Amino acid sequence: MAASRPTPEPGVFDISTGTAELVHSVDGGWLLSINGAQSSHIDPDRPDQLDFEYMRQASAAIADKYRDPATPLRVLHLGAAACALPRYLSHVYPQSRHVAVEIDAELARLAREWFDLPRAPRLRIRVGDAREVTESLREQTRDVVVRDAFSGSVTPEHLTTVEFTRAVQRVLVPGGLYIANCGGRRDLASVRSEVSTIADVFANVELISDPAMFKGRRSGNVVVVAGDGALPDSADLERALRSDPEPSRLMTGRDATAFGSGKVRHDESPA
């Protein structure tokens, strides 16, 4: 007899790094917020759906690069929350294998308890610091690395430096993709610095976001796609981004490089 599917209950829960709030959304899904910041949305009946705009942008870039659903992708997710993107990619690429790194042990436990997530080896949740885990992995063992780790609305500094980005580059196979979700304010200073830092390591970068975000008219997210080989850049990808419920723009080549006009970030020097 098949095991019954988990049935989450709304509420506020103590976790290792603060509190998690689970709310039943009007569309039938569940919205997870961590310390007041919206972190994941999952519809138990629709593994093929992504509610967050930046996740759809990231998945569109991956789909443009890896068009065969039988591709046995190996994906490292830095930042897990409810594992919405690993769950989606596991559904789209049934032969794929995912490791989701979550610093909060209790949140990782609750995500497994609340949601019908794929089991190992399809999806393993590893509790630990994203940088420490990345640096511990063997080189050239991942096709895609997705960085979606936040403390509140900010990515921890040690995940935004040249030294960390080199660790990501080391674990990627030749031609692999690094996808970083960068949160930014209207002045775009932090995003420009992150783009500059990633471009200091990888040969090619491109950016995906709401056109208003690129113009400094709103706060939000910019998805950085980087690699040492060819990046997703097709008419199909452009159409997918434009036809999304929240249309976005793909910025490539010199435009993307020029956008990264901020200071390159390095680890702090020893005292």
Domain assignment present for 270: no
Domain assignment present for 21: no
Sequence length of the chain is 271
On the question of pLDDT at 269 being above 80, the answer is no
The CATH number of the domain holding residue 126 is 3.40.50.150
CA nearest neighbour of 96 among 69, 114, 119, 77:
69
Residue 198 pLDDT: 98
CA 270 – CA 114 distance, rounded (Å): 43
On the question of pLDDT at 2 being above 70, the answer is no
Q: Considering its fold, how many domains does the chain have in total?
A: 1
How confident is the model over 116-169, as pLDDT tens digits?
999 999 999 999 999 999 999 999 999 999 999 998 778 999 999 999 999 999
**Side chain identity at residue 124, one-letter code:** R
Domain limits at 186? 47-259
On the question of pLDDT at 270 being above 50, the answer is no
Residue 4 pLDDT: 67
- pTM of this structure: 0.95
Domain assignment present for 6: no
Domain assignment present for 33: no
Averaged pLDDT score across all residues of the chain? 94
Domain assignment present for 28: no
Domain assignment present for 32: no
How confident is the model over 80-109, as pLDDT tens digits?
999 999 999 999 999 999 999 999 999 999
Residue 22 pLDDT: 97
How confident is the model over 165-200, as pLDDT tens digits?
999 999 999 999 999 999 988 889 999 999 999 999
pLDDT confidence band for 271 (50 / 70 / 90): very low
Average pLDDT over residues 43-72: 96
CA 83 – CA 41 distance, rounded (Å): 9
Domain assignment present for 158: yes
Give the CA angle between residues 119, 122, 128 to the nearest 5°: 80
On the question of pLDDT at 218 being above 90, the answer is no
Domain assignment present for 19: no
The torsion angles phi and psi of 15, rounded to 5 degrees, stand at: -130, 180
